Copies of this chain bind each other. A is one copy, B any other.
Amino acid sequence: MKDFFKVADLNQVLGHAAEFPVVETESVSLAETTGRILAQNILSDINIPGFTRSTMDGYAVCAVSTFGASEANPAYLTVKGAVEMGQAPDMTIGPGEAASIPTGGMLPDGADSVIMIEHTEKIDDTTIEIYKSVAPGGHVVEKGEDIKQGADVLSCGRQLRPQETGLLAALGKTSVNVFKKPKIAIISTGNEIISIDKKPEPGQIRDINSYSLSSLVETAGGQPVPYGIVTDNYDALFDACSTALKASDMLLISGGSSVGAHDYTVEVLSSLPDAGILAHGISISPGKPTILAVSQNKAVWGLPGHVVSAMVVFEMVVKPFIRRISGRSDFLKKGMPLPAILSRNISSAQGRMDYIRVRLTENGRDLLAEPILGKSGLINTMVQADGLIEIGTNTEGLNKGDKVNVIPL
């Protein structure tokens, strides 16, 4: 049963992302969390810091003892002892008293601030002169000032950066629950495609897509599972898809999705268990002949065989679906816009979203986006590209000097 070529727009297709279930979770040690997606909410069961700390080398004091102190009119304080790092001090500080304290040391009871060592002079073993006043709370971090006990600190679905890992360390989380990296199966189809270790005969080309798509899957947070090359044959493709889908959370098939003579992809995708075709064609360029199907609640993609088209569709369409099933709460969020000035006019067809490869240069003041022209089969145009610019559905083109937002590649 072959569906008709029915083109969906990009937002319609992206609207399906939320329909796919999120993968399972696993517990990993804190050292393995970089870039992973948190699968639990994190509450703080402690105050951070757990005690009021000095942020300077100096003397812990009652601020009131320093009021009015200046070079011309120093105040004199009695030193009751020294705070040791990592230990609770054994003295109490009252007005007119001080204790020497290192950066990070715990304030003694009674002290509410720290006077920096640079603003003091030692008179004798138990007396200092101070030349400056300090306000209550000066040069200290209060108990719980970083994180209050009981606070919600991190939410499920958040990607962990180095600072989130640091925060989890502060909370004593030696391991955390994260979402598993989704397994993304990759199949290349086409009778002209040969393994990269073979020398192409006339008419043959090496399998680029298995490698570029695997690498894209990795950068998107997935685990690529390449299944190699399948010839343009219904049974071969059906068997390969069935096998791949059983062992993975999503399937990418590149090639065989145009209205060509050897187009078995739609037929195969329609015959998979619990199958449905969600989109057959997307109104983007390059990348129009893209198929999104579902089988047993897993997304199955028929991507164009042209390498640039396959990469652009991955970046703009497939990636949000991988983020979705990876558990990311912000799976549809676009990256931050990187504004640049277009270096020349470019035309665009209405009724579709156009993605133009650009090279970025700086002219000292602005970033310039220079379009890279070239057919969507040319991998070298992607190697030269620093990013993509999007030309909207209702725009006929852009002019030299226009401000554009670049999607980095």
Contact = CB atoms under 8 A, between A and B. Distances in A.
Contacts of A206: 169-172
Q: How many copies does the complex hold?
A: 2
Given A163-B379, A367-B337, A169 B212 contact: yes
Nearest to A199: B172
A266 B379 CA distance: 51
A382 interface: yes
Given A30-B211, A169-B196, A163 B311 contact: yes
Q: Which of A147, A165, A215, A382 has the most CB of B within 10 A?
A: A215
Contacts of A15: none
Contacts of A367: 336-337
Interface string A210-248: 111111101100001010000010000000000000000
A311 B191 contact: no
A371 interface: no
Q: Which of A100, A192, A226 has the most CB of B within 10 A?
A: A192
9 contacts: A49-B377, A57-B259, A85-B191, A85-B232, A102-B262, A103-B305, A166-B311, A173-B196, A336-B338
The SS class assigned to the A binding surface is loop
A155 to B, nearest CB: 11
Contact of A170 (B30, B85, B208): B208
Interface string A372-409: 00011111101101000000000000000000000011
A57 B30 CA distance: 53
Interface in A7-35: 30-31, 33-35
A291 to B, nearest CB: 15
A84 B172 contact: no
A87 interface: yes
Contacts of A377: 49, 53, 55, 141, 146
Given A105-B203, A190-B86, A380-B147, A215 B375 contact: no
A290 interface: no
Interface string A161-202: 111111111111110000000000000001111101111111
A133 interface: no
A311 B103 contact: no
Interface in A348-388: 360, 367, 375-380, 382-383, 385
A202 B30 contact: no
Contact of A169 (B204, B210, B338): B210
Given A86-B191, A377-B53, A166 B104 contact: no
A196 to B, nearest CB: 5
A200 B48 CA distance: 10
B215 A162 contact: yes
Contacts of A104: 190, 192, 205, 305
Interface string A118-162: 000000000000000000000001000111000001100000111
A172 B196 contact: yes
Contact of A212 (B85, B165, B210, B338): B165
A172 B34 CA distance: 32
B154 A383 contact: yes
